[in-house]
Amino acid sequence: MDRKEAGFVGLGFMGAPMAANLLKAGWAVTAWNRSPGALDAFEALGGARVADVDGLRDAPVIIFMLPDLSYIEVAAAGLLASWSANPPAAGTAVVVMSSVSPSAVKEFGAHVARASGGNAVVVDAPVSGGTKGAVEGTLAIMVGADKGDFQRLLPLFGGMGSTVRRLGPLGSGSLAKACNQLIVGTTTAALAEAAELAERSGMDVAALYEVLAGGLAGSRVLDVVGPRLAAKDYEPTGPAKFMHKDLSFVLESAAAVHAAVPMAEAGVDLYAELKRQGLGEKDLAVVRQAISNLSGIAGCNKTAKTQ
C-alpha cells in the first residue's frame, strides 16, 4: 500500500499484540477499543487512539478484531453512516480478522460497498495461532479477497503473520477458519477425552501426551493445548465459548453445499454443553472439565440404574 497507515478496532487477547506488531513493522496505527485501559497501553507503545470508530474514516485500511460480525456491524454503524454522506477514498479496505460466518461476511461486504459508494471493499482475513502466535507475529492468516486487494494488503498481513494465503474471494477466509476450528475444536476435545480416560485408569496424562507426540497422534494442537489439558490450567488465552460459535459456522457452510460433517455436529453439541456448565469464559482446554463433569453425570446415572 502507498501509505503504511491503518485503523485497528478491538484490542483484546488477540487484537492488542497484533496491533503492537504492526507498530513494530513500521505502520502508523490508530486504534479504538471499548475499554480505555487497552488504549492507554497501546499509546504507550507509540500508537494513536480515536474516541469512536468513525474517527478512522480516512484510514486507507481499517482492521476489525471483535468477537463476531454482529459486534463489527454495531461498531461500524457510525463509520458507514459517515461514508454514506461523504464517501471514502477509492480503494479503502475494511479487513475483518475475526472468526465470522462465511455467508454473513459476504452480506457485510455488499453493505459496505453500498454505503461507501463502491469505494470501500471488505476482505476477510481470520487468523490461527492463538495468543502465542499473535504476540510472536507468527499467525496463519487465511484471506478471502480479490487477487489485487490481496497483493496490496500483503505488507499489512506480513506485519502480523508468517503464513499468509489467499483462499479465494470474500468469504473464503472465513470458511478456511471454520475448517481450522473444526480440526482444533474436535482434536482438543479428543485429547481431553483421552486425558480423562487415562487419569481415571491410573495413568499419568503428561507421560501419555509425551508418547503420543512422538507418533501419528502428534500435532500442533497437542503441542500447544496439551500442557494446559494435562495441568488442568484453564486460565483464558481466549474464551472457550467461541468454539461453539465457530463450529456452528461449519454446520452452516456444510448445509449450503450438502456436505456431511458428523464431527462438527458432535463438537457443536459438546461445546454447547460446556457453555451450559458455565465454563465458556475459561480457556479452550476447559473442555476437559466439561467432559469430566459429563463423566460424573454418567456415573451417577449408572449407579441409579443398578440400585
Q: Which residues are catalytic?
A: 177
Q: Are 156 and 150 in contact (CB under 8 A)?
A: no
Among 267, 185, 259, 264, which Cα is nearest to 221's?
185
Q: Are 164 and 143 in contact (CB under 8 A)?
A: yes
Q: Cα 9 from chain centroid?
A: 14
Give Cα separations from 224 to 187, 213, 218, 288 (angstroms): 12, 11, 11, 15
User: Could you give the count of Cα atoms lying within 13 Å of 178 in the half-sphere of its Cβ?
Assistant: 28
Among 208, 144, 134, which Cα is nearest to 171's?
144
Name the one residue in this structure whose C-alpha cell is 494442537: 221
Q: Are 230 and 206 in contact (CB under 8 A)?
A: yes
- Pairing relationship of beta strands 127-128 and 139-144 according to DSSP bridges: antiparallel
Which three cell numbers mark 57?
474514516
Which DSSP state fits 14? T
183 CB-near residues (< 8 Å, 6+ apart): 221
At 230, the amino acid letter reads A
Give Cα separations from 199 to 114, 192, 194, 206, 273 (angstroms): 57, 11, 8, 10, 22
Q: Which helix (H) or strand (E) holds 273?
A: helix 262-276
**Rounded (10°) angle between helices 172-200 and 287-306:** 50
